[in-house]
Amino acid sequence: MEQIIILTGPPGAGKSTTARALAQRYPRAVHLHTDDFWHFIAIGFIPPYLPASDAQNHTVVEATAAAACSYALGGFTVIVDGIVGPWMLDHYRAAVRGRSIALDYVVLRPDRAETLARAQARPTPEALTDEEPLLALWEQFSGLGGMERFVLDTSSQTPAETLDAVAGAVGSGRYRLEREGR
């Protein structure tokens, strides 16, 4: 069965580091870095954490979900790396509807202070490092209610420990999303 693994959480949670390493554990894999999809917008880009970006964000997530589905149908395990809150999962469910594609969802969520420290220490110039949007995004991933079962607290983990935890979570089947309209 084809598989899409959505690896999400706030900025600085370790998504990209973990996704790159996780892809190496599969014989055929795609690391789909969702930030790239926002960079494809040439004119009219709105920073995705601003309220005015809602329609843009849904469009970008729909495009990302379609790309993930295409790669999965081509026989690749797809690791989607990006900020994909539960409020955006319907785009992925719609993309895989009627297809034999497993959909796993793992939220990396270090505690608030650790997330802020990691995000602000990222060396890339395009990385979001402003405290206000970072903490707002962390808040969006706190208290996920019925979706808390998809959370891994990575506050005290090394990147290798996080990778093993994610691989174990996905391998257990407990992080598989139920899909409507199979």
Q: CA–CA distance from 118 to each of 16, 38, 55, 58 (Å)?
A: 13, 22, 29, 27
Burial class (CB in 10 A: 0-12, 13-18, 19+), 156: exposed
Tell me the pLDDT tens digit for each residue of 106-162: 999 998 888 877 777 777 767 776 778 777 788 888 989 999 999 999 999 999 999
Q: How confident is the model at residue 73 (pLDDT cuts 50, 70, 90)?
A: very high
Q: How confident is the model at residue 166 (pLDDT cuts 50, 70, 90)?
A: very high
Alpha-carbon distance 31 to 40, whole Å? 17
Region of 40 on the Ramachandran plot (φ > 0 left; ψ -120 to 50 alpha; else beta): alpha
pLDDT at 87 over 80: yes
Q: Quick one: average pLDDT of 8-24?
A: 93
- Which domains, from first to last, does the chain contain? 8-172 (3.40.50.300)
Higher pLDDT, 169 or 123: 169
Q: What is the pLDDT of residue 181?
A: 44
CA 70 vs. chain centroid, Å, equals: 17
33 beta partners: 81
Single out the residue of 82, 73, 74, 91 nearest to residue 31, CA to CA. 82
Q: Quick one: average pLDDT of 63-85?
A: 97
CA 152 vs. chain centroid, Å, equals: 13
Alpha-carbon distance 17 to 119, whole Å? 13
pLDDT at 29 over 90: yes
Alpha-carbon distance 39 to 3, whole Å? 25
Alpha-carbon distance 111 to 159, whole Å? 15
Residues 6 and 104: beta-carbon distance below 8 Å: yes
177 secondary structure, DSSP code: P
Q: What is the pLDDT of residue 137?
A: 80
The encoded tokens of residue 139 equal 């808040």
Sort strands 151-152 and 101-108 into parallel, antiparallel or unpaired: parallel
The encoded tokens of residue 147 equal 């979706």
Q: What is the pLDDT of residue 179?
A: 59
